[in-house]
């Protein structure tokens, strides 16, 4: 096994090996999966041209009425739990599949829910499917969906592992690479998996995974991060990660591009996402806001949502819906999002 050290805040560790999760034999290759649990009909959006993203506190609820969507449709049940109901939900992680279905984790241990963001419908695995889904064993934090929607990965801090699932919810295998508190997960544009280890001297790992066997073919690590939590990956290979008190942006080589904190209006960052302009959307627990940071330098561009109780994860749907998990409010909040065009570099002025 070869390891190489690089300067702090660059990729500090590279490992190439056929690592097997937990030292166990590779699992049996799963049979072809049935249609995904989020593959149900959805209504086309009719408000594509509406832009209320700059109106303070404006919310676009998933259901009719003035309130944000509360946990659970009338007949829905959380994934991985046979009966549903009971206890307050604590939404944390959010990921949106290519067809607009949001997967939301619950740190209270109630599993994962699937919600049709664009079609304003709610859904979850029914009891017969949930029994074998394997998603509800232990509280989940981060969640990510592959670019084509075939794979789902979940971070499980209490179990100290990241579990990989087929799109019908069946668990394929678990990854255990010495993480103490794996929290955030994201897929890179090249199909790798980024994982944050949320401890005082935490790491950001980028894994190349053999999805057939569960082996880790290549591992890169950035060390020395202070409680890294939520992650997002850009189409250009960039990775945004929330740490205690700041947001870091790394390029595809693992080099720190910028760090943005209280001096730029970000106090307790949580969920992060990239918009189509490669700017970074950040949920800030310290101010109860969602703000947008310039991708080129981390400067504060604008505020898109105010008045949140305790925002955690967030994600952007392909049709431009911002989905926010507000743990303190026990609610999911959606918001129409319109990116602002920003040139890669500030315009040059002629004096």
Over residues 238-289, the pLDDT tens digits come to 999 999 999 999 999 999 999 999 999 999 999 999 999 999 999 999 999 9
Residue 115: predicted pLDDT: 79
Quote the CA–CA distance of 280 and 294 in Å, as a whole number. 6
Quote the CA–CA distance of 99 and 148 in Å, as a whole number. 9
What are the start-end ranges of the E strands in 85-229?
91-96, 101-106, 111-116, 121-123, 143-145, 151-156, 161-166, 171-175, 182-187, 193-197, 202-209, 216-225
Q: Is residue 34 in a domain?
A: no
Average pLDDT, the chain: 74
Give mean pLDDT, residues 26-50. Answer: 33
Q: Is residue 185 in a domain?
A: yes
Question: pLDDT category, 78, cuts 50, 70, 90?
Answer: very low
The residues facing 14 across adjacent strands are: 220
Question: pLDDT category, 108, cuts 50, 70, 90?
Answer: low
Question: pLDDT category, 220, cuts 50, 70, 90?
Answer: very high
Q: Is residue 8 in a domain?
A: no
**Above pLDDT 90, what percent of the chain?**
50
135: domain CATH number is: 2.120.10.30
Residue 109: predicted pLDDT: 56
Question: pLDDT category, 55, cuts 50, 70, 90?
Answer: very low
Over residues 125-183, the pLDDT tens digits come to 322 232 223 344 457 899 999 998 889 999 999 999 999 998 877 889 999 999 999 99
Residue 300: predicted pLDDT: 93
Q: Is residue 5 in a domain?
A: no
Q: Is residue 25 in a domain?
A: no
- Phi and psi torsions of 91, nearest 5°: -65, 135
Q: Is residue 296 in a domain?
A: yes
Q: Is residue 47 in a domain?
A: no
Residue 106: predicted pLDDT: 80
Residue 120: predicted pLDDT: 44
Q: How many distinct structural domains can be found in the chain?
A: 1
Question: pLDDT category, 113, cuts 50, 70, 90?
Answer: confident
Q: Is residue 171 helix, strand or coil?
A: strand
Q: Is residue 291 in a domain?
A: yes
Domain that holds residue 106: 13-19+53-336
Question: pLDDT category, 99, cuts 50, 70, 90?
Answer: confident
């Amino acid at each position: 096994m070869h390891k190489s050290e690089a300067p702090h805040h660059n990729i500090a560790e590279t490992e190439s090996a056929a690592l097997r999760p937990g030292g166990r034999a590779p699992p049996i290759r799963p049979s072809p999966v049935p249609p995904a649990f989020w593959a149900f009909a959805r209504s086309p959006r009719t408000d594509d041209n509406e832009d209320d993203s700059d109106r303070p506190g404006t919310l676009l609820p998933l259901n009719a009425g003035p309130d944000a969507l509360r946990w659970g449709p009338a007949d829905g049940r959380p994934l991985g739990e046979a009966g549903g109901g009971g206890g307050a939900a604590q939404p944390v992680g959010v990921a949106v599949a290519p067809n607009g279905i949001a997967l939301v984790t619950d740190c209270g241990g109630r599993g994962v829910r699937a919600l049709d963001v664009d079609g304003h419908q709610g859904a979850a695995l029914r009891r017969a499917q949930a029994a074998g889904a394997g998603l509800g064993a232990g509280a989940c934090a981060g969640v990510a969906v592959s670019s084509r929607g075939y794979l789902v990965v979940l971070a499980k801090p209490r179990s100290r592992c990241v579990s990989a699932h087929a799109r019908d919810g069946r668990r394929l295998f678990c990854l255990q690479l010495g993480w103490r508190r794996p929290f955030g997960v994201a897929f890179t544009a090249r199909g790798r998996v980024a994982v944050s280890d949320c401890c005082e001297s935490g790491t950001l790992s980028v894994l190349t995974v053999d999805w057939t066997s569960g082996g880790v073919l290549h591992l890169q690590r950035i060390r020395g991060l202070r409680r890294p939590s939520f992650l997002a990956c850009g189409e250009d290979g960039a990775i945004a990660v929330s740490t205690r008190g700041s947001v870091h942006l790394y390029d595809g080589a693992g080099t720190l591009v910028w760090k943005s904190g209280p001096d730029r209006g970000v106090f307790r960052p949580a969920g992060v996402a990239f918009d189509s302009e490669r700017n970074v959307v950040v949920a800030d627990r310290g101010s109860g806001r969602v703000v947008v940071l310039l991708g080129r330098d981390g400067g504060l561009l604008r505020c898109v949502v105010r008045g949140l109780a305790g925002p955690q994860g967030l994600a952007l749907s392909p049709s431009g819906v911002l989905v926010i998990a507000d743990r303190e409010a026990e609610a999911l909040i959606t918001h129409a999002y319109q990116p602002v065009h920003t040139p890669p570099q500030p315009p040059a002025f002629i004096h």
